[in-house]
Amino acid sequence: GENVEQHPSTLSVQEGDSAVIKCTYSDSASNYFPWYKQELGKRPQLIIDIRSNVGEKKDQRIAVTLNKTAKHFSLHITETQPEDSAVYFCAAVNTGGFKTIFGAGTRLFVKA
């Protein structure tokens, strides 16, 4: 079946450093790629997304890049802060939009 692979599963960085999380998807029909952040004990919330007609999108300290040919997309967080510590999920949505396939998640630790 279709899947999304996400790496790394755990990432530990020093405050102020950058963090990069990478995802690979298998469904060629995917055209929407959201990233969700889940803080401990809280619900996942959308932090940024990208659609297949765009290669890169930035929102303050976070950015997402998409390579449709290679079926890769990545989340970049610059100048990390302790409040960035959370689990991050990537996802791929097909053109019908009903099925969202999530990656297994990356637990990010930002050390002060």
Partner 1 sequence: DVKVTQSSRYLVKRTGEKVFLECVQDMDHENMFWYRQDPGLGLRLIYFSYDVKMKEKGDIPEGYSVSREKKERFSLILESASTNQTSMYLCASRDTFYEQYFGPGTRLTVT
Cβ proximity of 66 and 56 under 8 Å: yes
Q: Does 70 bind partner 1 (CB under 8 A)?
A: no
For partner 1, the closer CB: 53 or 112: 53
d(C-alpha 37, C-alpha 34), whole Å: 10
**Shortest distance in whole angstroms from residue 88 CB to partner 1:** 11
In one-letter notation, the amino acid at residue 1 is G
The one among 28, 39, 42, 61 contacting partner 1 by CB under 8 A: 42
Q: How many CA atoms lie within 13 A of 60 on its CB side?
A: 4
Measured in whole angstroms, the distance separating CA 53 from the mean position of its chain's CA atoms is 17
For partner 1, the closer CB: 46 or 54: 46
Nearest Cα to Cα of residue 60 among 81, 78, 73:
78
**Shortest distance in whole angstroms from residue 101 CB to partner 1:** 8
Residues in contact with partner 1 by the rule CB under 8 A = 1, 6, 9, 32, 34, 36, 42-46, 49, 89, 93, 97-100, 102-105
